[in-house]
Structure 1
Amino acid sequence: MIKILLSLLIATSTLANVNFCNDELGKLPILQDGRIKPLTVHAKEVIHHLTGKYKAKGYSSVDTFCLLSSKAFGLEAPFKLETKIEHKNAKELLGGKSSMALDDLIDENVTIRMAYQKEKVESGYKKELNRLLNKIALYQDITSGNNWQLPVKMGNEISWEPVTNFLTKEKVDALAQVSSTPFKDVFAKAKKDYIEVKGEKYLTEFLFDKLQLTKIAFALTLIGLAALVLFKKFGVALALSTLTIIVQTVYIALRVYISGRAPITNMYETVIFSGYGALLLSMIIGHLKNEKTYLYMGLAYNLCTLMMITFATNMVSPSISPLVPVLRDNFWLSTHVTTIIMSYGALALSWILANTILFKRAFTDFKVEDETYYNDLIYTTLKYGIIMLAAGIILGGVWADYSWGRFWGWDPKETWSLIVLCIYMAILHGKYTNWITNKSFSVLVAAAFMSVMMAWFGVNYILATGLHSYGFSQGGAYFLGTFFAVQTIFLILTVIKSNHKAA
């Protein structure tokens, strides 16, 4: 069939005169990874997964995906996709190369698989080999045409076929009799047929992708933080913060509408939700306490989370994927996980202000009265964070009993959540009883947040074991190690500097 279609292309000069690979195909509905979505969304995801970029040699992700899929018809793409080889042992295995064309990497498939099988220990090298094997499999799936499933109307039902079966000689030939753009018309008819049967809901994701709301929220947060620091009028920063909340609320609402579930099922969603929740909480507390410092804490942390999802896309993927069975309970998902992530956001507010105090104490003329005042603000956020964390752990136990038949099993995620709770309860109690001095309080609060990062990221990226295996990810070990190192060095330097000033 492929040869017949290729002959048709050449005979009709369609290949020479019509390039059916263009951005107009971006709105096509496709079935992939267990759900229906616009082609542009899927194309971005797979091209970014393969190369770390969203484009190839000036071609958009849709063009790139389409041209690669055209290889299934014997056509050549006008470029070669390259993928990075990160681990030093993998580089040595593949001739010392730090990147390699995927077409050439396929030739090394056997070599990589044999090396993978020889590795008995789950090391960084083995994970890199597994990533390369997955990329080879995905690339072959795309170039064979099987990664592009298109809708076919069968009465009042929709079935799905790979592009190689979808573009039949009969379809193209029939449309070629009445149109000079038969391929474009075939795809347009497929889209129209799907919408007639299933509706246009899937196009919400196309709009969602085009709006780039997280980038707008990032800009608003950055400007809002600058306005808070530079301008005396609090109203400007408050207005920008309100706009940020509105933009992020729309973003989260659209994501919930598209996925049909709470927006806290993967690392990307928990990061953005924690920043959003922290900013919202800081605005509420700030209003109740009539204190604008809370807004500074919320904006600063929200900026951190938005920077992470914007620039660390290899570590936190924005892809919406199907849920594993244990997560398919929206009640527990919306209560347990949401409460835990909100608690992390509240504790992050205390981390922001604690580090700010340390910096001011070490490098500015910071008065003892000011430190006492700001420590009281930290104390308030800690109370909110601890209450929500304790509630989240209890809710998680109830869910675990419902799903796994036991309330508590010392799973790494459970254990580290309990460790975080114990650490912060000790700090809170120590502060209340004056066992912890004003000077030590901010140091301990800043250091304690490393336990949150371990529970949140460390279990997923470093330990990667336990019943919470659905939350595991790759690529974050260096980030977490860097965070721990920078925070530790900052603590040591500011404490030494403060002691030197006091002396």
Structure 2
Amino acid sequence: MSNPIKFLIALTLGLILCFFPAWKGTISNPETPYDALKTLAVQLDGRKKPLDTVARETVTQIHGRLDYQPLSGKKLDYLNTYLSLLFNNQDWNDEPFILLSYRPLKTALGLNPEQKYFSFVELVSSPLGSLVLQAHEDRAKDLDLTRDQREALTLENRLALMLETVSSTELPIIPHPSDPKGKWLGIAQASEYYAPGQVETLQTTYDELKKAVQLGVNSDLKSQVLVLKKQLVALSPQVYPSGEKLTREVRFYGLHLFTKAWILYALGFLVMLVTLGWEKLQAYWVALGLFCSGLAVHGYGFWERMQIAGRPPVTNMYESVIWVSLGIAAIAVTFEFLHRAKYYLLAAAPLSVLCLLLGDRLPAVLDPSIKPLVPVLRDNFWLSVHVPTITLGYASFALAFGFGHLLLGAYLFKPTAKDWINRLSRWNYSILQVGVLFLTTGIILGGIWAHFSWGRFWGWDPKETWALIALMCYIVPLHGRLAGWLGNFGMAIASVISFNAILMAWYGVNFVLGTGLHSYGFSTGGSEQTIGSLIALDLLFVLVVFLRQQTLKNQSQSPALS
């Protein structure tokens, strides 16, 4: 079988596995009586979205996961959990539903530091109120908040969201009569827009639906939902979003495209690993086909999210993680087709898988919800060129980080394989050059945008400063290589160590420092201890390889014994 045929078969097989409905649990859950509610339109966070998205975002923002098992009862998915909150069909005050994972804050509030979820009653009866009050006062004075204060404000938002959701009669499902950008109202306020007769009919239908959910009567639920939708559309057909648009967003989340992408990346990685260990298998093109199918699914998911958001999805940490992982895979595939090296995929796949896993498994830390842009980001041209460009620099250096580990592994286990090490070093050098090009261009574009938005090209903002530091951490070793100060081994170490500056510019400024004009990208919930431990282990690995190399060098320079 020819190589192109192998590639096409693997690519096609990967895509079929992704979109074939028989792949249980990845397309959608089995149909339930509540599924008809998924495409009910709601206006929240500056946009109109399906109730399915509202339920996902609400549950993950409060609980940090998509499912919840009450103290008494079977496990609920996100939609059932949200409906239980909305219609208050059980006592939620004592349910350990609210996520709090930051240990220092738990200790400060006198809570069990080993516990991860707490009830509404536990939190409101703790000293949280005084800490939140002080945080608001410091913010009003333009003081920098401590990590404890920022985590306390995040916890306050979770409590407020839960309080707002439970028994809410203000869920904005009533469309504005004429203005597509007008404010939607809750069912209890519908009389502000519409005649009493219309409001009474809506209220009756809504109450019947609410009662059916509360009592668990599912026999006629679907027809009740369809009646409610028809009534809402009839109120303002020119304002109410199309069923196709609402279904598209529900389908996007139901497909779990980014989950499938990392699975295909992992399969491609494993096949490539086996191919290198057993060359008779001749499965290189199969591995490449699987990896490319993952890239296609990943790119399609990114495109769908962009169409739903109406903008490039690169405005928060979650979106940048998805984009960087896509960039790592795309750059690796580009170089792989150029050089047929086999090692680009080995360096890229673990990093892309890790990024997508983090985005998939940590919704409370990397918020996946689609929200309106802050004013400074509403210039789509600069948003579309600056952020993607600078984060492609991050992606390139992440790939070089992976290549650096391959090289250090070669120096540790096969130090005599000089030709192989030289080839890896040349390929790594080309990646570093691409990274410097992207990061430099991104910094310059950011300066131009800052000139238009803030009236200055450069202001030593933490995000700007760390981007420049990161650039210098790569430019200095590259110049050192040209000057002959660093060889292949030195560049391998630089590829690994310098990536810590990228981590600081990308993660550290947002989650650790939390100060500066780029506040729209800041977040909480990151674990400095975990990240710090991983960095320490990685640096220990670098030290072990360095000492090993020094030992070999000293042995080669020692005079032979007579």
TM-score range (shorter-chain normalised) is 0.7 to 0.9
Q: Does 1:494 align with 2:558?
A: no
Letter in 1 for 2:165: I
Mapped to 1, the partners of 2:450 and 2:178 lie a distance apart of: 44
Alignment of 1:448 with 2:511, yes or no, is no
* Segment drifting more, 30-39 vs 363-372: 363-372
How many Å separate the matches in 1 of 2:123 and 2:200?
A: 30
Contact 2:412–2:548 (Cα < 8 Å) also in 1: yes
- Whether the 8 Å contact between 1:87 and 1:124 is mirrored in structure 2 is no
Task: Report if the CA contact (8 A) 2:266-2:353 is conserved.
Answer: yes
In the TM superposition, 1:338-349 aligns within 5 A as: 338-349=388-399
Specify the alignment match of 1:4 in structure 2.
none
Q: Which residue of 2 aligns with 1:82?
A: 97
Partner secondary structure for residue 380 of structure 1: helix
Q: Does 1:171 align with 2:202?
A: yes
Tell which has more relative contact order, 1 or 2 (C-alpha 8 A, sep 6+): 2
Are positions 1:135 and 2:178 aligned together?
A: no
Tell me: CA distance 1:99–1:312, structure 2 relative to 1, closer, same or farther (3 Å).
Answer: closer
Give unmatched runs, 5+ long, in structure 2.
1-31, 70-74, 139-143, 191-197, 209-218, 276-281, 556-562
Match of 1:474 in 2: 524
Q: Report the CA distance shift for 1:281/1:191 in structure 2 as closer, same or farther (over 3 A).
A: farther
CA deviations on 1:337-393 (whole Å, 9 max, x unpaired) are: 111011111111111011111123223455233222211111100111111111111
Unaligned runs of 5+ in 1: 1-19
Aligned residue pairs, count: 479
Cα distance in 1 for residues equivalent to 2:96 and 2:33: 17
Distance 1:180 1:240 in 2: 45
Instruction: Find out whether 1:60 has 2:77 as its counterpart.
Output: yes
**Residue from 167, 182, 185 that aligns with 1:161:** 185
Partner residue, 2:268: 224
Deviations 1:115-152 (A, max 9, x none): 33356673333233222222221111111415622134
| 1:168–1:347 CA distance, 2 compared to 1 (3 A) | same
* Deviation (angstroms), 1:325: 0.6
Give the drift of 1:153.
6.6
Query: What amino acid does structure 2 have at the position aligned with 1:32?
Result: L
Aligned to 1:145: 168
> Among residues 37, 41, 45, which one is paired with 2:49 in the alignment?
37
Q: CA separation in 1, counterparts of 2:533 and 2:207?
A: 59
Corresponding residue of 1:13: none
Secondary structure of 2:485's counterpart equals: coil
SS of residue paired to 2:523: coil
Deviation at residue 289 of structure 1 after TM alignment: 2.9
Would the aligned equivalents of 2:205 and 2:224 in 1 still touch at CA under 8 Å?
A: no
| Match of residue 391 from structure 1 | 441
Identical-residue share of aligned pairs (%)? 29
**TM-score, normalised via structure 1 length:** 0.87
Q: Which range is displaced more, 360-369 or 304-313?
A: 360-369
Q: Distance in 2 between matches of 1:358 and 1:226?
A: 21
Match of 1:204 among 248, 252, 260: 248
C-alpha change, 1:146 and 1:112, in structure 2 (3 Å) is farther
Report what 2:109 is aligned to. Answer: 93
Partner of 1:244: 294
Q: State how far apart, in whole Å, the 2-side matches of 1:366 and 1:324 are.
A: 55
Superimposed CA distance per residue, residues 152-179 of structure 1 (whole angstroms, 9 cap, x where no aligned partner)? 47378686222445696543547999x9
CA distance in 1, matches of 2:444, 2:360: 33
How far residue 477 of structure 1 moved from its aligned partner, in angstroms, is 4.2
Aligned residue type for 1:171: L
Secondary structure of residue in 1 paired with 2:168: coil
Give the Cα separation in 1 of the matches to 2:373 and 2:178.
30
Q: Which residue, out of 179, 188, 195, partners 2:229? A: 188
Inter-partner Cα distance in structure 1 for 2:236 and 2:290: 39
- Contact 1:268 / 1:316 at 8 angstroms: preserved in 2? yes
Aligned-pair RMSD on alpha carbons? 2.9
For residues 284 and 38 of structure 1, what CA distance do their matches in structure 2 show?
38
Query: Taking structure 2 as the reference length, what is the TM-score of the superposition?
Result: 0.78
- C-alpha contact 1:278 1:298 (8 A) present in aligned 2: yes
1:307 and 2:365 matched: no
